[in-house]
Amino acid sequence: MITKEYLINLLKENGVFLKGDFTLSSGKKSDYYINMKKAITDPEILSTIAKLITKSISEDNIDKVAGPALGAVPIATAVSLESEIPLLMIRKEKKGYGTSKLIEGELNEGDDVIVVEDVTTTGGSLLKAIKAIQDNGGSVKRAFVVVDRQEGAIEAFDSEGVKLEPLITVDEFF
């Protein structure tokens, strides 16, 4: 049976949590780093994440699974394959060529969407993706993150009326 503890063990075995001096994407300094790119390129870890999220949404009536580029796209793809729910990919910004879309995939007015992310610190990038979905007619029902660093993301989501559901928190890992 796939469990949170199983995921934590996989992440530990694969050296996903690193100690040292790091600068995070937010610009903040940290004495540890969560290398989720290493995790989401491992088939067993990615499959475990997808199974945990799919199990959690099995009773929901979800139309789309979305993930912001880059780190969440493999997670969203794995959840899409596991759950057989169509995929959306959210760009950081509109590209200046081709279709110039911010959202790749078919988002219909009124679609119920879950969003996924690899790691959250403040939650800013995922909130931006949620806003893009809402601005384009989608309704975000739930948000999942593999690891929450417990630095304000859950509170930021609460203030926006969206529940952020971490598969694991940094405290649970350590």
Write out the residue range of the structural domain in which residue 135 sits: 4-173
DSSP-assigned letter for residue 161: T
Find out whether 49 and 56 touch, Cβ atoms under 8 Å: no
118 is in an annotated binding site: yes
User: How many angstroms separate the Cα of 61 from the Cα of each of 58, 112, 141, 142?
Assistant: 8, 7, 10, 11
Domain tally for the chain?
1
Contact 15, 37 (CB under 8 A): no
pLDDT value of position 115: 97
Does the annotation place 55 within a ligand binding site? no
Known binder of ligand: residue 119?
Answer: yes
Phi/psi zone of residue 15: left (φ > 0), alpha (ψ -120 to 50 degrees), beta?
A: left
SS3 89: strand
Cα(116)–Cα(99) distance, integer angstroms: 24
- C-alpha 164/C-alpha 30 separation (Å) is 22
pTM: 0.92
C-alpha angle 130/115/67, rounded to 5°?
Answer: 90
> Is 123 annotated in some ligand binding site?
yes
Q: Looking at this protein, which amino acid is placed at residue 159?
A: S
Residue percentage of the chain with pLDDT more than 70: 95
Structural contact between residues 44 and 26, judged by C-beta atoms closer than 8 angstroms: no
Q: How confident is the model at residue 26 (pLDDT cuts 50, 70, 90)?
A: confident
CATH number at residue 132: 3.40.50.2020
Tell me the mean pLDDT in the region 68-95: 92
Which of 61-65, 86-90, 102-106, 120-124 is least confident? 120-124
Confidence of residue 94 (pLDDT cuts 50, 70, 90): low
Please name every residue paired with 123 in a beta bridge, in sequence order, or none if there are none.
Answer: none
SS3 151: coil
92 marked ligand binding residue:
yes
Q: Is 149 annotated in some ligand binding site?
A: yes
Alpha carbons within 13 angstroms on the beta-carbon side of residue 65 total: 27
For residue 30, the SS3 value is strand
Does the annotation place 12 within a ligand binding site? no
